[in-house]
Chains A and B, each alone.
Chain A
Amino acid sequence: MSKEWPLWEVFIRSQHGLAHKHVGSLHASDAEMAVNNARDVYTRRNEGVSIWVVRAADIVASSPADKGALFEPSNSKVYRHPTFFPMPEEVKNL
């Protein structure tokens, strides 16, 4: 049976979280079942969470071989890193 169930990746935004985080995966026959079961497998029913489920087949990942080309050039160019701007206290979560 589970051979026919596709894999879904689960992303959860916790109660005080600002963004959905990938928490794991599960098998389900469709999106509705994936959301239903994500509650039991990953949230333990915390209040106020938002769940996203995405069919694993729909996710395109960067290839490890591209790591250098994608991420390294910025490391030697500190002016690209926006860490020199003093932020006012009132601005949260930026």
Chain B
Amino acid sequence: MDDKVNYLLRLGDNALILSQQLSQWCGKGPALEEDMALTNVSLDLLGQTRLWYEYAGELEGAGRDEDKIAFHRDAHEFKNCLLLEQPNGNYADTMTRQFFFDTWHYFLVRGLCGAADQRIADIAEKSLKEVTYHLRRSGDLIVRLGDGSAVSHAKTQAAVDDLWMYSGEVFAYDAVDQAMVDAGIAPPADELRAHWLEHVGEIFAEATLAMPAPDAWMQKGGKQGVHSEHLGYILAEMQFLQRAYPGAEW
């Protein structure tokens, strides 16, 4: 598979899987306003997914549109990072997952705005407004939860410690990522990682949370289609109708 197509699918898969996860909160948020914010973020990400998939499908030239890409692939063909398929858990788990992702996503998309590929730059430009807001909100909530009550602090610290080993996969560049760096599309990993650690560090300090060791061992595999046990269930639910009635139009 072409490196660029692969890379676009990774971007789309990240957004789609997280969007699907967030949509599960619909009607279950801790407050009406949070409920709306979570589902709005989910919608933002779904919109971004469609743009990445559409471009990937065009470049691939095999006649796959966004729906084919989303609903007609199985777990081993999905390239999202493992962090995003981790369960929603409690609100601290969801917001920590979101904050780790948003921080990376913001710096990545900001970098992609200068991509040597105009279409990628345009999609990034459009996404950046949404992603900037996502980051502002998740950082704000991490501070509130971490620096809130003793209970919320403990829950958030536990979420941070649990999810930390999934936070580094995005910086482990393989041949596909490297090809995108060489093509002047993707920002280099070390640059993104430096921004990421700095921002997470600042927010954690304000949230009175202990930051785990940046060089701790990190779980990998999602980008290559080697997933945790969670993804299969997410896809089974998401793709049910298309599996039951392949090619149905809606």
Report if A and B associate in a common complex: yes
A residues at B contact (CB < 8 Å)? 1-2, 5, 26-29, 32-33, 36-37, 39-41, 45
How far does the Cβ of A35 sit from chain B's closest Cβ, in whole Å?
10
- Chain A residues with CB under 8 Å of B136's CB are 36
The residue of chain B having its C-beta at the shortest distance from the C-beta of A47 within the complex is B129
Q: Is the CB of A37 within 8 A of B33?
A: yes
Task: Find residues 29-83 in chain B having any chain A CB closer than 8 Å to their own CB.
Answer: 30-34, 36-37, 40
- Chain B residues with CB under 8 Å of A27's CB are 31-33
A32 to B137, CA, bound (A): 10
- Chain A residues with CB under 8 Å of B30's CB are 1-2
- Chain A residues with CB under 8 Å of B34's CB are 37
Q: Is the CB of A29 within 8 A of B144?
A: yes
- Given contacts A2-B32, A26-B33, A37-B37, A32 and B133 within 8 Å (CB-CB): no
B residues at A contact (CB < 8 Å)? 30-34, 36-37, 40, 129-130, 133, 136-137, 140, 144
Q: Is the CB of B137 within 8 A of A36?
A: yes
A65 to B131, CA, bound (A): 49
How far does the Cβ of B26 sit from chain A's closest Cβ, in whole Å?
13
A41 to B36, CA, bound (A): 7
- Given contacts A29-B144, A33-B140, A2 and B36 within 8 Å (CB-CB): no
A49 to B33, CA, bound (A): 19
User: Which one of B31, B40, B136, B137 has the greatest number of beta carbons of chain A within 10 Å?
Assistant: B31
- Chain A residues with CB under 8 Å of B129's CB are 45
The 3 closest A-B pairs by CB, nearest first: A37-B33, A40-B40, A40-B37
Q: Is the CB of A40 within 8 A of B36?
A: yes
Q: Is the CB of A5 within 8 A of B36?
A: no
The residue of chain B having its C-beta at the shortest distance from the C-beta of A2 within the complex is B31
A33 to B130, CA, bound (A): 17
- Chain A residues with CB under 8 Å of B36's CB are 37, 40-41
- Given contacts A5-B31, A27-B31, A27-B32, A32 and B140 within 8 Å (CB-CB): yes
Q: Is the CB of A1 within 8 A of B31?
A: yes
A28 to B114, CA, bound (A): 37
A6 to B129, CA, bound (A): 29
Can you identify 22 A-B contacts, CB atoms within 8 angstroms? A1-B30, A2-B31, A2-B32, A26-B33, A27-B31, A27-B32, A27-B33, A29-B144, A32-B140, A33-B33, A33-B140, A33-B144, A36-B133, A36-B137, A36-B140, A37-B33, A37-B34, A37-B36, A37-B37, A40-B40, A41-B33, A45-B129
- Given contacts A1-B30, A28-B33, A39 and B133 within 8 Å (CB-CB): yes
The residue of chain A having its C-beta at the shortest distance from the C-beta of B35 within the complex is A40
The residue of chain A having its C-beta at the shortest distance from the C-beta of B44 within the complex is A45
- Chain A residues with CB under 8 Å of B133's CB are 36, 39, 45
The residue of chain B having its C-beta at the shortest distance from the C-beta of A38 within the complex is B33
- Chain B residues with CB under 8 Å of A32's CB are 140
- Given contacts A29-B144, A45-B133, A36 and B37 within 8 Å (CB-CB): yes
How far does the Cβ of A23 sit from chain B's closest Cβ, in whole Å?
14
